[in-house]
Structure 1
Amino acid sequence: MVSEERGCRFCGKKIEEVKSSVYAAAGEWLSEDLWKDSGELCNQCLENRARLAMMYMHEVNR
């Protein structure tokens, strides 16, 4: 069975299944529950999304 290499929809990097940090896990939660694009972002973009959400999405952080 050949696995298809998937690239991040934002930066094109390889998507790894293992989340490397709590920020990546938080970004994955946001991608599942808020943006509905789970599985389409790399760890770095997930981490960036989580950090930006903490800074700017006050309505979600309550």
Structure 2
Amino acid sequence: MNKRGKDGSAKANIESRQGEMVWGVVYGIAKSDIDRLDKYESLGRGYRADYLDVVTPDKKTISA
């Protein structure tokens, strides 16, 4: 984890690496909530939001 919070704590992140995968959870949230979350987490100051296709264990692809 290479992102530090104002309080000095580490923040979770994912770094891209060719041929690797990450297991996780995808939550559906409203656009207005994404905007609030980005403001709260200071989007653009130390991190960026990336949108990508996620392949589920049953081989379905969703945009996230």
TM-score calculated relative to the size of structure 2: 0.23
The structure in which a higher percent of residues are helix is 1
Q: Larger relative contact order (C-alpha < 8 A, sep ≥ 6)?
A: 1
TM-score calculated relative to the size of structure 1: 0.23
